[in-house]
Homo-oligomer: A and B are copies of this chain.
Amino acid sequence: MSTKELFMNPYVSWMNGSGADGDVVLSSRVRLARNFCRIPFPNRADLAQLEKIQNIVASVLPDIEDVTDEPFEEIILDKLTKLEKNVLIEKHFISNNHIKNSQHREVLISDDGKVSIMVNEEDHLRIQCMVAGLDVKTPLKLALKIDDAIEAKVDIAFDEKMGYLTSCPTNLGTGLRASVMLHLPGLVFTQQISSIINISPQLGLAVRGLYGEGTEVLGNIFQISNQLTLGFTEQELVDNLTSAVKEIIAQERRARTALKLYSMDKLEDEVWRSFGVLKYAHSLSSKEALSFLSKVRLGMDMGIIKETVPEIFNELLVASRTNYLQNLQENENMSQSEIDKKRAEIVRKALKETSIGE
């Protein structure tokens, strides 16, 4: 993937909607936090130390490319416009935190878009691997493989008792955060979602909105991740998350069946109206777009809209984001109404190309 594509193309490979349990699970992601020995964490490091970290990363990059069998793009955040940085956030390649102070910050993104390694975020390295559907094992395996390649060359901060040392104590131990992105309109419509959110902490899990910590739930999309990192093996953490997610998937499917049985007429009407508005609106707010997209996707998954092209939903998740739209126009001074018009235009165009429901 060229740098241009990275910013201009709404599509990223883990969005293709083809993965396991793709009717409910959008994507699975694993992130490992790692730090090099004898260099302060990025928040305490001086510029020379930050640069040294970049140099170490550069020295191990060929090994990473070797084990992943993918070329990587090295993107220096300081060289990006504000909009481009935000597009990378919208595509989940970097975090909000990563752009707060962008000096000597960079991200390595694999050509297939499945791996992104943030350099000098909160930790020296944050190795992120993403795949479509429910499959936490594959990205975990890949992340550990990358980690092994790095550890073969460089000393990583590790304590016999504590495990991997990290900037924030919540990441101590495995340094592992595994998360799954779920589309749960059935549980939202049947008002069962709150009980799932309430029970999650007791299972060592956190439930958040589309863009992680503290973000509002949009488009009925929820991110579920492990809270604990210490005292369990990577495998145990991943198994725990996976079995909880499987239970939620079963509940979501039951909720959809109930909707089919008891409110099919209402649901069918809402799904098609959402489709009609997306197809013809000339102005769409971000929130509206996600809400309508969620209903259309539900309609596709429930067979209400027959010609299923679920990847449209996933693609539009990015394509309708504000920063992506602004970057596409090469204009960060677009007014809200210009953004909403552009968003509607892109959605109309995408749906016209699929020409469902004619």
Chain-B contact segment, one of A212-220, A270-278, A324-332: A270-278
Question: Which of B265, B278, B283 meets A282, CB within 8 Å?
Answer: B265
Neighbouring B residues of A344 by C-beta, 8 Å: 269
A12–chain B nearest beta-carbon distance, Å: 29
Neighbouring B residues of A276 by C-beta, 8 Å: 273, 275-281
Neighbouring B residues of A282 by C-beta, 8 Å: 265, 268-269, 272-273
Asked whether, in the complex, the Cβ of B269 is within 8 Å of the Cβ of A273, the reply is no
A169 at the interface (CB under 8 A from B): no
Neighbouring B residues of A280 by C-beta, 8 Å: 272-273, 275-276, 279, 357
A81 at the interface (CB under 8 A from B): no
A316–chain B nearest beta-carbon distance, Å: 16
Main secondary structure of the interface of A (DSSP, over half): helix
**Least CB separation from A282: chain B residue:** B269
A92 at the interface (CB under 8 A from B): no
Q: How many copies does the complex hold?
A: 2
Size of chain A's interface in residues, with CB distance under 8 A? 20
A349–chain B nearest beta-carbon distance, Å: 13
Q: How far is the CA of A273 from the CA of B276 in the complex (A)?
A: 7
Asked whether, in the complex, the Cβ of B281 is within 8 Å of the Cβ of A273, the reply is yes
Q: How far is the CA of A279 from the CA of B265 in the complex (A)?
A: 16
Neighbouring B residues of A265 by C-beta, 8 Å: 282-283, 337, 341
A358 at the interface (CB under 8 A from B): yes
Within 278-328 of A, Cβ neighbours of B (below 8 Å) are at 278-283
A266 at the interface (CB under 8 A from B): yes
A286–chain B nearest beta-carbon distance, Å: 15
A358–chain B nearest beta-carbon distance, Å: 7
Apart from A265-B341, A266-B283, A269-B344, 19 more pairs, CB < 8 Å: A265-B282, A265-B337, A268-B282, A269-B281, A269-B282, A272-B280, A272-B282, A273-B277, A273-B281, A273-B282, A275-B276, A275-B280, A276-B276, A276-B278, A276-B279, A276-B281, A279-B280, A280-B357, A358-B358
22 examples of A-B residue contacts, CB within 8 angstroms: A265-B282, A265-B283, A265-B337, A265-B341, A269-B282, A269-B283, A269-B344, A272-B280, A272-B281, A273-B276, A273-B280, A273-B281, A273-B282, A275-B276, A275-B280, A276-B276, A276-B278, A276-B280, A276-B281, A277-B277, A279-B280, A358-B358
